[in-house]
Amino acid sequence: MTRKVLEISSEAIDSHGRFKPEFTGRGENRSPAFHLQGLVPEARTLAIVLEDLTHPIFGSMTHWLAWNIPAHQEVKGGIEPGSRNVGSGIVQGLGYGWHRYRGPKPPRGSSHNYRFTIYALDAELTLSPWHRAKGLLTAAAPHILQEASIDARFE
């Protein structure tokens, strides 16, 4: 079965593919908003993973993971810290930011590459907030309808 293409853009990334400071650990460290194009109507929830792809020790390091985000073409930024956000149903797991968004903040003078990946799911996940990315992706795998990534650099 061929998946319909999902495209994403984010207010966190400028036209040169770099993180805007307000979405980093040197700024407001606020989770960004996303715009999705081509989201299928069967999507019930979204999951988002932010990875540092060039971490000098770990190779790849998860900064943030969130799931059970209501599936809409616009994902609002500024998701509040917490394992479970009352009212929205959003769950945030364990990454560099425990139960919260934690944006890029490599050592001064170094540059790292980051990737946001958004998964459109056909279900809400009954997953504990104590899971890391591997657990999230294992639970999400049979429910993934679409996925898309967007990369950015921070120096």
Instruction: Please determine, for residue 3, whether its predicted confidence score (pLDDT) is greater than 90.
Output: no
Give the integer Cα–Cα distance in Å for 34 and 41.
Answer: 17
Closest CA to 65 of 24, 93, 88: 93
Do 17 and 152 contact (CB within 8 A), yes or no? yes
- Output Rg (C-alpha) for the chain, integer angstroms: 15
Instruction: Please determine, for residue 8, whether its predicted confidence score (pLDDT) is greater than 90.
Output: yes
pLDDT band at 87 (very low <50, low <70, confident <90, very high): confident
Question: What is the structure's pLDDT at 85?
Answer: 83
Tell which wins on pLDDT, 58 or 125.
Answer: 125
Question: What is the structure's pLDDT at 92?
Answer: 96
Question: What is the structure's pLDDT at 18?
Answer: 95
- Which is it for strands 91-92 and 112-121: parallel, antiparallel or unpaired? unpaired
- Tell me the pLDDT of the chain averaged across its residues: 92
Give the integer Cα–Cα distance in Å for 141 and 119.
Answer: 9
From 1-10, 45-54, 128-137, the region with the lowest mean pLDDT? 1-10
